[in-house]
Structure 1
Amino acid sequence: MTDRIWLQSYPPGVPADIDEGRYSSLVELMEESFSKYAKRSAYSFLGKELSYAEVDEISQTFGAYLQSLGLVRGDRVAVMMPNVLQYPAVVVAILRAGFTLVNVNPLYTPRELEHQLKDSGAKVIVILENFAATLEKCVAKTPIKHVVLCAMGDQLGLLKGTLVNYVVRNVKKMVPAYNLPDAVRFNAAMAQASGSSFKKVTVKADDVAVLQYTGGTTGVAKGAVLLHRNLVANVLQADACFQPALSRIASGEQINSVCALPLYHIFAFTVGMMFSLRLGGKLILIPNPRDFPAVLAELAKHKVHVLPAVNTLFNGLANHPDFGKVDWSHLVVSAGGGTAVQSAVAKLWFEKTGCAICEGYGLSETSPIATCNPVNVTEYSGAIGVPVPSTWLKLLDDDGNESAPGQPGEIAIKGPQVMAGYWQRPEETAQVMTPDGYFKSGDIGVMDARGYFKIVDRKKDMILVSGFNVYPNEVEDVVSQMPGVLECACVGVPDDKSGEAVKLVIVKKDANLTEVDVRAYCKENMTGYKHPKVVEFRTELPKTPVGKILRRELRNT
């Protein structure tokens, strides 16, 4: 699509295109911030703050340690940690040294971890000791040659660090027994390298920065190859989109962002860590986003300006009794992504904070942001917004041709943030990339006359009931607005008569909610073939660590 009709919907001040050559690499972007904002606080974690200068120093020391291991340019280093202070410093060290970061989900099983380490060819893993028992079960079958063990309290100072580590290990029993005799402690590695100097490396735009593995909820996890220029572009795209809101913050005031989503996830990595670095902001690291009382207690200590989150996090926080203990009056960006934001959640969030959820859309393969709603929009529309600067979207039919105007089609994305391909999987890369450079997302969407896109659903999630298409997102959005419903999910299940039938799983907000109530509400709000054949109540929905609902698990139970 050469005519970018969506540009008419951009707020004043948002450019049609970014300066893709502004930085040669993420390293240049980060080092600019280390220089400009040296005295500012970069990260806050459990009451401890690290300045930009301290992150600069720690990353150079740890980078020198990695260089001492004999790694060569482009070697992969895996990081398997939640949001702790070591994470960002280790990431900076890896990238500065010219190595490639492999982000690893800390909740992986040994089988999943083995696959990712073997597939990526990682030679080093930096891992929190809480997950060392998982590594022990598979490390012998992987290319890993060096293990660096971190502890929760490593960067908290001697007294507090010792106390935190004691509580984590002995009171909360969060570190299962493990045996990794050749592992090196993070603090020992830092001490070992303290006398060495970091050898500066020239990192280029087309060097591989990150192998970002897709969720793997449908088949084998694949590594999206994200180059330095891909991630730089997406940081600048986020900056361009959010500037109209950020400009409302007083000049010279440091921007505080919340990182409740895990840093190993591309949404938090780009819109949390890298974007905050670009702004000279402070990133508030939340190690466990599911502990709502702890999250809200931490946020009550800060001015909160930017909050990237998924629907389940917005919903859980807004419905928690401690929500009012946080001063939300400084919040200017509530960035929703990862999964569809439901209208009931968006309405509640706006009522309670005065800051509308700015829903966007993206994938690991797009670094991740591809579209975003303008930050000056306050009404929830259900749209994923318009393509971000320097980005083109088009809709493809089943034959790969552009869909007729107004017709749904597979969303295809072209822009500087689109991955170079899947790691060592040329055939799978060819399946998702068109000859003219568009990435086929697997999501079905429609576009209106203003250039706004709306997700209809994933191809694989669509339910076919007697020849009629039922889109789970629509059913979930309707039912989530019903009084008494906290959360819900919709999946297709086999049915002898209709081929497939709708199964609806609900978590109650009101204990008195009944199946009869649900069926009556669905009858009133949706046409017959969309009504659930099966209504099931549960105490919780199965989710990924990021908060995405695992529909696959609901289908199988």
Structure 2
Amino acid sequence: MDEQQHRPSVYDGGTVGDMIVTLLDRFPDKTAFIDGARRFTYAETRDAISRTVQHLRALGLRKGDTVVQLSGNRPEVFFVTAALYLLGLRSVTLQAMGGIEDHAYILEHCDARMMLADGAYAERTLALRGRVPGVAHWYLHEAAGDLPGFWAEAARHTPAPLPSEATPDDIIRLAYTGGTTGRPKGVMLPGRATMTQTLLLMAGRAWSDAPRFLCPTPISHGAGATLIPVLWRGGTVILQKGFDPDRFLDAMEEHGATATFLVPTMVYKLLDHPRTRRTDFSGLETLMYGAAPMSPARIKEALGVFGPVLQQGYGQSEAPSAILTLSRLDHTDRDERILSSAGKPYPGITVRLLDERDEEVPQGEIGEICVRGPLAMAGYLKQPELTAEVLRNGWLHTGDMAYRDARGFFFIVDRKKDMVVSGGFNVFPKEVEDVLTAHPAVSAAAVIGVPDPRWGEAVKAIVVCRPGMAVSAAELAALVKERKGAVAAPKTVDFVESLPLTVLGKPDKKALRAPYWEGQARAVG
């Protein structure tokens, strides 16, 4: 953009940087982060961000440059991200479980100027340094071998007042998609989108004052958007590296956690863990879940175990975290059918269901979820044609198919690319999965389409049973046939110990389909 486009207007909104500066001064002596034995007050957090800002400047990084992080959960991830948002640099966070090919591609694609990694990823960092020589600065959090330690160098700077230099139009985050349909795409999120996301999560989620937020999910991705709402209210973020039911329950009790964010697979593990039902959850106020659909049967079970504290969020990288929400109150609705809904739009976001001509479909009919509002991305980095397609006619097209009922609740039936076309009929895997997981012996299920000479695609179910329980393939097929009809009934059922997951904790449909579709092209997706 030219200078004319950057010229400030009295109508410009604030930025996340402005929020960060303000919140850090409100509660200087309170604990902002707990990371094992480490504690950081708000004042110490502010000072660490200040040193980061100064060191980034000393390295010659300027507005528009890109900094990449590869790390598990630790407060420093927030310190660096906050500094980037303040300066108008671009933040990229690599998925820790991602492969080296995707990591190298992203570093090159985003024109990274600096990479900072956990010591656990020192070997990966060295390998990437050899493959992507254009990156100017390579760091670990703590020095190891010939990789310098970022914080040892940053400690040379004296804390100073924090700047807030980014504008609402500056791209401050590049959120790379998981690459399940090809190379990862760099979603460009300007300051206005990140600010909108933060405000919507503050307004649309249930928060008390001084929440104690237990966070085993990666703050480098979806859970990271929750940190500013927690800190704004004077809360404490309790970080865990990875999810283990026993460690999670220990931390719940030790820290008196009042809020948490989990993906459905984590909730399932908790529900199947024998210790969970002996744990007192009376202090838990909000259990937020998202990133993938959750079985209505397991939601109902979770309400019985945790209480009326569940809240669901639906979004995607292109409109992060805050498109639809199913509130705590919605979860206790007398109509239990609501438990299969993704909820209603967050305030200030326009959501419509559109057909192939981008015309709104009638109530009750299936259309693509399309979004309009300041939450939407600016586009895909270096992919103008794909950007134009996804943002055509003034709407962000999500690729998710849904219908809306008379009360305004949205019900997602599936991703376009996951739909199974069997004998000319559309089968939406989520609807079949919801039936399967309603069986008392089933812990989790994934449904895919596999090649079939008669039907084109046949419905296959991959099922995980609960510990000590079993069910036959014939019984599950009959259950689906009764509830959804013969076309939706799985022709085959595989029983497995666990489902493969993407790096974000979603069932990996691409990996499940791959053995069956190698060398063939699917009609859908």
TM over 0.5: yes
**What CA distance in whole angstroms lies between the structure 2 residues aligned with 1:461 and 1:311?**
19
1:187 maps to a residue whose letter is W
Cα offsets for 1:231-264 (capped at 9, x unmatched): 111111122122xx43xx4xxx511122221112
Of 307, 321, 326 in structure 1, the residue corresponding to residue 274 of structure 2 is 321
1:278 to partner: Cα distance: 2.6
**What CA distance in whole angstroms lies between the structure 2 residues aligned with 1:360 and 1:21?**
29
SS of equivalent to 1:301: helix
Of 136, 139, 146 in structure 2, the residue corresponding to residue 145 of structure 1 is 136
**Percent identity of the aligned residues?**
29
Cα offsets for 1:400-453 (capped at 9, x unmatched): 222233221111001111111111211111010023x31000011111122211
**What CA distance in whole angstroms lies between the structure 1 residues aligned with 2:216 and 2:166?**
30
2:346 maps to a residue whose letter is V
Aligned to 1:268: 223
Moved over 4 A (4+): 20-23, 195-199
Aligned residues of 1:23 and 1:29 also touching (Cα < 8 A): no
**Is residue 7 of structure 2 the alignment partner of residue 53 of structure 1?**
no
Paired residues, number? 499
Of 359, 365, 372 in structure 1, the residue corresponding to residue 325 of structure 2 is 372
Aligned to 1:452: 409
Aligned to 1:277: 231
1:326 to partner: Cα distance: 4.3
Distance 1:196 1:392, change over 3 A: closer
Aligned residues of 1:231 and 1:417 also touching (Cα < 8 A): yes
Aligned to 1:168: none
Distance 1:52 1:391, change over 3 A: same
Aligned to 2:4: none
Aligned residues of 2:481 and 2:488 also touching (Cα < 8 A): no
1:475 maps to a residue whose letter is V
Distance 1:292 1:421, change over 3 A: same
Aligned to 1:9: none
Aligned residues of 2:473 and 2:492 also touching (Cα < 8 A): no
Aligned to 2:257: 304
Matches for 1:51-450 after TM superposition, within 5 Å: 51-142=41-132, 143-150=134-141, 181=146, 183-191=147-155, 193-195=156-158, 200-242=163-205, 245-246=206-207, 249=208, 253-265=209-221, 267-270=222-225, 272-289=226-243, 291-324=244-277, 326-377=279-330, 378-379=332-333, 380=336, 381=338, 382-435=340-393, 437-450=394-407
Distance 1:146 1:326, change over 3 A: farther
**What CA distance in whole angstroms lies between the structure 2 residues aligned with 1:116 and 1:199?**
30
Aligned residues of 1:413 and 1:439 also touching (Cα < 8 A): yes
Of 456, 460, 471 in structure 2, the residue corresponding to residue 499 of structure 1 is 456
**What CA distance in whole angstroms lies between the structure 2 residues aligned with 1:534 and 1:387?**
37
Aligned residues of 1:373 and 1:385 also touching (Cα < 8 A): yes
**Is residue 443 of structure 2 the alignment partner of residue 489 of structure 1?**
no
SS of equivalent to 1:219: coil
CA RMSD of the aligned region, Å? 2.1
1:37 maps to a residue whose letter is F
1:80 to partner: Cα distance: 0.8
**What CA distance in whole angstroms lies between the structure 1 residues aligned with 2:252 and 2:327?**
26
Distance 1:51 1:500, change over 3 A: same
The one of the two structures with greater contact order (alpha-carbon pairs below 8 A, sep at least 6) is 1
1:148 to partner: Cα distance: 1.4
**What CA distance in whole angstroms lies between the structure 1 residues aligned with 2:120 and 2:185?**
25
1:338 maps to a residue whose letter is A
**What CA distance in whole angstroms lies between the structure 2 residues aligned with 1:371 and 1:23?**
23
**What CA distance in whole angstroms lies between the structure 1 residues aligned with 2:159 and 2:63?**
19
Distance 1:512 1:404, change over 3 A: closer
1:525 to partner: Cα distance: 3.1
**What CA distance in whole angstroms lies between the structure 2 residues aligned with 1:184 and 1:209?**
25
SS of equivalent to 2:241: coil
Cα offsets for 1:528-557 (capped at 9, x unmatched): 111111110111100023210001111123
SS of equivalent to 1:504: strand
2:66 maps to a residue whose letter is R
1:316 maps to a residue whose letter is K
Structure 1 window deviating more from structure 2 (113-122 vs 96-105): it is: 96-105
**What CA distance in whole angstroms lies between the structure 2 residues aligned with 1:323 and 1:82?**
25
Gaps of 5+ in 1: 1-19, 155-178
Structure 1 window deviating more from structure 2 (363-372 vs 491-500): it is: 363-372
1:200 to partner: Cα distance: 3.2
Structure 1 window deviating more from structure 2 (273-282 vs 119-128): it is: 273-282
Of 419, 430, 438 in structure 2, the residue corresponding to residue 462 of structure 1 is 419
**Is residue 429 of structure 2 the alignment partner of residue 472 of structure 1?**
yes
Cα offsets for 1:502-540 (capped at 9, x unmatched): 110011113443323333433443311111111101111
SS of equivalent to 2:260: strand
**What CA distance in whole angstroms lies between the structure 1 residues aligned with 2:479 and 2:71?**
43
Gaps of 5+ in 2: 1-9, 516-525
Aligned residues of 1:305 and 1:332 also touching (Cα < 8 A): yes
Aligned to 1:159: none
**What CA distance in whole angstroms lies between the structure 2 residues aligned with 1:195 and 1:336?**
40
Aligned to 2:33: 43
Distance 1:197 1:280, change over 3 A: closer
Aligned residues of 2:174 and 2:188 also touching (Cα < 8 A): yes
SS of equivalent to 2:487: helix
Structure 1 window deviating more from structure 2 (91-100 vs 59-68): it is: 91-100
1:483 maps to a residue whose letter is P
Cα offsets for 1:1-26 (capped at 9, x unmatched): xxxxxxxxxxxxxxxxxxx9796211
1:256 maps to a residue whose letter is R
1:27 to partner: Cα distance: 0.9
